[in-house]
């Protein structure tokens, strides 16, 4: 049970009583220690303005009836909780009209109830906090349904795929493994029977998908994680290199607080800069993220990555000459 839930429970216990309740009773009801009970009482009284009074004669706490019926003010969610709830609410309310409308309506109502209970202003927080999905690419709804259907049914999927790098269409037959939402876009992780290996496919580049009757190939979860999550970015493959990036003191104020990869490491330098080490395989996405920092970052290692960044910057400079 988290702190917010215990505060609500403590408020409800006190609001429902007209006689004092002792610390041992509260410890049992809230399933916590004596120090925790006292911290909750102090927070409820001092920070949330609850009219709590300690009755020495009966050795317990009670709401002062002279202050009338006390209503607990809204409590803020943590940043991650608020983001999760608002994202869920926005996704559900923006579903295509008529699609799963009756099925998701109770869930939407429950989310709105939670937002109203925990927030000041009667739940208006959902209209005052904006989640922006930058760089989102449009996906045909029929493509998404076909991909998700094949994934749910454990069946192979055939489709035309035009990758951006080569811009050439090929007919693929894949065994869907999982859908991934990454940087505002959907990707399908799958076993590609054409390439006989694991691959990621951007859903906006899939066309004419057809679910087949052939059961999908099963791939061990550990192997999937090793292939899709060991290296930097959405481009799959094992992490074969480690990029060492040295950021200026200005950029360090942001980079030091960012998570580029779960296996990254970093430390501050004597000049206020920051050195970040990131494992990677395919350098495509890493290059894009390095280049956006311009003169605020230097690639220290490996030499091949450093040379590629140098070449890209020289090519960019030629555009301005």
Q: Residue 25 contacts by C-beta under 8 Å, 6 or more apart in sequence?
A: 60
Whether 92 and 22 map to the same domain: the answer is: no
Confidence at 96, pLDDT banded by 50, 70, 90:
very low
**pLDDT for 236:** 67
**Which CATH number belongs to the domain containing residue 293 in this structure?**
3.30.70
How far is CA 182 from each of CA 133, 186, 279, 284, 288, rounded to the nearest angstrom?
10, 6, 18, 15, 15
Residues 54 and 114 in one domain: no
Beta bridge partners, 278, equal 243
* pLDDT confidence of residue 6: 81
Structural tokens at position 109 = 């109502």
For 96, the domain range is 79-128
Q: Which residue has the higher pLDDT, 251 or 165?
A: 251
Q: Is residue 73 part of a domain?
A: no
Q: How far is it, in rounded angstroms, from Cα 193 to Cα 217?
A: 9
Average pLDDT value for the chain: 84
Strands, sheet with 185-192, edge to edge from the N-terminal-most edge strand = 197-202, 185-192, 169-182, 155-162, 206-215
Q: How many domains does the chain have?
A: 4
Assess if residue 60 is contained within a domain: yes
- Select the more confidently predicted residue: 203 or 1: 203
Predicted TM-score of the model (pTM): 0.60
- Mean pLDDT (whole number) for 37-55: 87
**Inter-helix orientation angle 23-30/34-42, to 10°:** 100
Confidence grade of residue 46 (pLDDT, cut at 50, 70, 90): confident
Q: Indicate which CATH number applies to the domain containing 147.
A: 2.30.30
Shared-domain flag, residues 156 and 212: yes
Q: Is residue 231 part of a domain?
A: no
Q: What is the dihedral of CA 144, 147, 148, 154, to 10 degrees?
A: 170
Q: Looking at the predicted structure, is the pLDDT value of residue 222 above 50?
A: yes
| pLDDT greater than 90 at residue 67 | no
DSSP string, 116-148: HHHSTTTTTHHHH-----TTPPP--HHHHHHHH
The winner for highest mean pLDDT among 55-59, 83-87, 223-227 is: 55-59
Is the pLDDT score of 172 beyond 90?
yes
Is 112 among the domain residues?
yes
CA-based nearest residue to 162, from 171, 154, 173 = 171
């Amino acid at each position: 049970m988290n702190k917010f839930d215990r505060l609500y429970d403590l408020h409800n216990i006190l609001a429902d009583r007209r006689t004092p309740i002792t610390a041992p009773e509260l410890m049992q009801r809230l399933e916590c220690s004596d120090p925790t009970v006292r911290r909750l009482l102090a927070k409820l009284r001092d920070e949330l303005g609850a009219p709590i009074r300690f009755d020495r004669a009966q050795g317990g706490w009670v709401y002062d009836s002279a202050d009338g019926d006390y209503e607990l003010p809204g409590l803020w969610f943590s940043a991650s909780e608020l983001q999760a709830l608002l994202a869920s609410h926005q996704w559900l309310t923006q579903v295509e009209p008529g699609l799963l409308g009756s099925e998701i309506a109770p869930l939407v109502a429950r989310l709105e109830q939670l937002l109203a209970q925990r927030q000041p202003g009667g739940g208006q927080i959902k209209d005052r906090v904006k989640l922006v999905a930058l760089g989102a690419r449009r996906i045909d709804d029929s493509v998404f349904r076909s991909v998700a259907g094949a994934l749910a049914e454990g069946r192979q999927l055939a489709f035309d795929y035009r990758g951006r790098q080569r811009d050439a269409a090929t007919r693929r037959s894949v065994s869907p493994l999982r859908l991934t939402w990454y940087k505002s876009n959907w990707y399908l992780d799958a076993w590609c029977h054409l390439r006989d290996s694991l691959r990621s496919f951007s859903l906006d580049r899939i066309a004419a998908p057809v679910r087949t009757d052939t059961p999908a190939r099963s791939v061990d979860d550990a192997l999937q994680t090793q292939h899709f999550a060991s290296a930097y970015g959405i481009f799959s493959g094992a992490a074969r290199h480690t990029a060492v990036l040295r950021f200026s003191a200005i950029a360090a104020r942001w980079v030091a607080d960012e998570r580029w990869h779960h296996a990254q490491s970093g430390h501050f330098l004597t000049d206020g800069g920051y050195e970040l080490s990131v494992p990677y395989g395919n350098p495509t996405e890493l290059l894009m993220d390095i280049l956006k920092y311009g003169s605020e970052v230097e690639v220290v290692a490996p030499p091949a990555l450093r040379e590629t960044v140098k070449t890209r910057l020289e090519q960019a400079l030629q555009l301005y000459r």
